[in-house]
Amino acid sequence: MTTSDALDRYAHGGFDKVEGWCIPHILSVLRHLAAFHESIGFQGSAVEIGVHHGKFFLALQNAVNGRPSMAIDVFEDQASNIDRSGSGSLARFKANCAEFSANPQSIIIEARDSLTIRPIDVVALSEKIGLAQFFSIDGGHTKHHVANDYRIAEQMTSQAGIIIVDDITHPGWPGVMEGICRLYILDTPKFVPIAIGHNKLFLVGLSYHRRLLDFLIGRRPLLPGRAQSVREMFGQELMWIS
């Protein structure tokens, strides 16, 4: 099964059946990003902090064609969910993975608070799955969680990979935007914004930013300029950032 086949199967047979808060247009975005990775011969894992019942995690894991991937969530340990940004069920997540994953056996579950993950732990986690192709940050929505989870993602993700920050424009979770802004004001992250839309911020390694942008522009020859709306490609407005 190809990446496109796995993602299409989930899009048509599973996405609407899994409880969660992402919209179908995000699957189109993943298809184009996965096509870029295929064009450069890169394959990696999928990781998400804050999987809830797996709606977006399964999109990511199918986008990497079921390669070894990792789900990190507090699940029923809601005492660690201090901002009440989600209430995941481990049993429901496992059931969804069994039904809708391209390869359920390849999924590693870390039921833990991401704030407890130390640099030495990051090394051990990476050894289990290799470098990430897609890494989604959707755990705690405080500025502290977002900054912490970005640093984990930066260490675990290939420079060619994509880090995705959820709820970046959600008015109910200002801590997400504050956490990202503080990172770029106080530090110089190795991943930089390439797109924003669908309530998500997409980051790519600085060394691959121009290469990815050119690839995506090339998939729509009439798209001019440096930062443009690509409504036709992705179902609603999404801004690419140069």
DSSP state letters, the chain: --HHHHHHHHHHHTGGGS--S--THHHHHHHHHHHHHHHTT---EEEEE--TTSHHHHHHHHHTTT-SEEEEE-TT-GGG-TT------HHHHHHHHHHH-S-GGGEEEEES-GGG--HHHHHHHHHHH-SEEEEEE-S--SHHHHHHHHHHHHHHEEEEEEEEEETTT-TT-HHHHHHHHHHHHHS--SEEEEEEETTEEEEEEGGGHHHHHHHHHHTSTT--SSS-B-HHHHSS--EE--
Closest among 165, 169, 167 to 157, alpha carbons compared? 165
Confidence at residue 225, expressed as pLDDT on a 0 to 100 scale: 46
Cα separation, 122 vs 100, in Å, equals 27
- Contact indicator for 67, 48 with CB cutoff of 8 Å: no
Confidence at residue 80, expressed as pLDDT on a 0 to 100 scale: 54
Confidence at residue 229, expressed as pLDDT on a 0 to 100 scale: 47
Structure tokens at 209: 């930013």
pLDDT in tens, the chain (242 residues): 566 788 999 999 889 999 887 888 889 889 999 999 999 999 999 999 999 999 999 999 999 999 999 999 988 655 555 555 566 689 999 999 999 998 999 999 999 999 999 999 999 999 999 999 999 999 999 999 999 999 999 999 999 999 999 999 999 999 999 999 999 999 999 999 999 988 999 999 999 999 999 998 887 654 444 444 445 555 455 777 77
Confidence at residue 13, expressed as pLDDT on a 0 to 100 scale: 85
Confidence at residue 67, expressed as pLDDT on a 0 to 100 scale: 96
Ordered structural domains, the chain, with CATH: 3-240 (3.40.50.150)
* pTM of the model as a whole: 0.91
Rg, Å, the chain Cα set: 17
- Contact indicator for 139, 145 with CB cutoff of 8 Å: yes
Closest among 59, 214, 231 to 133, alpha carbons compared? 59
